[in-house]
Copies of this chain bind each other. A is one copy, B any other.
């Protein structure tokens, strides 16, 4: 496994590979969810590239950029064990040198949900992902379904700007009790860890209602909200039942429909998502 911190060195190594390259962009502090993406890439492609970069431009001024967890040595150990070929681990100035002023903006899709609560978040995501795609030149890139809006934004961007790669959305990795695996779970104390289960349990409730024939989106949404509100440590940012491609709110639940939610557990903001009917990777491509 080769590790590079400069764009020029990475490009040089990348240019030696003529076969299919699978790419997993990460912010490091890797967990089983990331490793699942790496394994999908491994299975699909001839070589696997992973980036580790805590991207400052996708954090707002009140977000957790400074305290976002980092552990490069551990990350590299995990990636080596998975047989990753290339790792790109740039410093901030390598990605955003002085004078940097170009941005990729994905409209509409980015204005709702996460975009409404985190202004400029998706601009930062779309821009850094564009940069990474141009540096890594992957055949396929892998994203987790947990960040469902991010996956929809990336797909929209790739299609609109004719980027020459495929986007694969991989099902969310979960703990034994169903909590979506996330780097931010480390912020939770044991009481919050228990409370955090309300996200997954509310999604299961929604799926249950849907499978029993409920088709009114507002009914499902309200039942999810009531359920989460029973947890005193939880504070809801949003619960949404939306078209998986446009993220427009649905009135009638027709599959595939995407349920997305963001909930504060104490001082930690968690998100999760579930697709009702259909495979996200196929449905939204």
Which residues of A are interface residues toward B (Cβ below 8 A)?
7, 11, 99-109, 126-127, 130-131, 134-135, 137, 156-157, 160-164, 246
Contact = CB atoms under 8 A, between A and B. Distances in A.
A161 B105 CA distance: 13
Given A7-B162, A134-B162, A162-B7, A105 B107 contact: no
Contact of A161 (B11, B99, B130, B160): B130
Given A127-B161, A161-B130, A162-B7, A106 B102 contact: yes
A103 B108 CA distance: 12
B164 A102 contact: no
A101 B160 contact: yes
Given A102-B156, A103-B106, A134-B163, 9 more contacts: A101-B160, A102-B104, A102-B106, A102-B157, A104-B104, A127-B161, A131-B161, A134-B162, A137-B164
B11 A102 contact: no
Given A137-B164, A161-B131, A103 B107 contact: yes
Contacts of A134: 161-164
A203 B52 CA distance: 50
Nearest to A246: B99
A157 B135 CA distance: 14
A131 B162 contact: yes
Nearest to A95: B162
Given A102-B156, A246-B99, A11 B164 contact: yes
A108 B130 CA distance: 20
A131 B161 CA distance: 5
Contact of A101 (B99, B101, B109): B109
Contacts of A157: 102
Central interface residue in A11, A105, A107, A160, by most chain B CB within 10 Å: A160
Contacts of A100: 160
A156 B126 contact: no
A135 B103 CA distance: 20
A208 B22 CA distance: 57
Nearest to A105: B103
8 contacts: A99-B246, A100-B160, A101-B106, A101-B156, A102-B126, A102-B160, A130-B161, A134-B163
B104 A103 contact: yes
A107 to B, nearest CB: 4
Contact of A107 (B11, B101, B137, B156): B101
Contacts of A106: 101-103
Contacts of A160: 100-102, 131
Contacts of A7: 162
Contacts of A163: 134
Central interface residue in A99, A126, A137, A246, by most chain B CB within 10 Å: A99
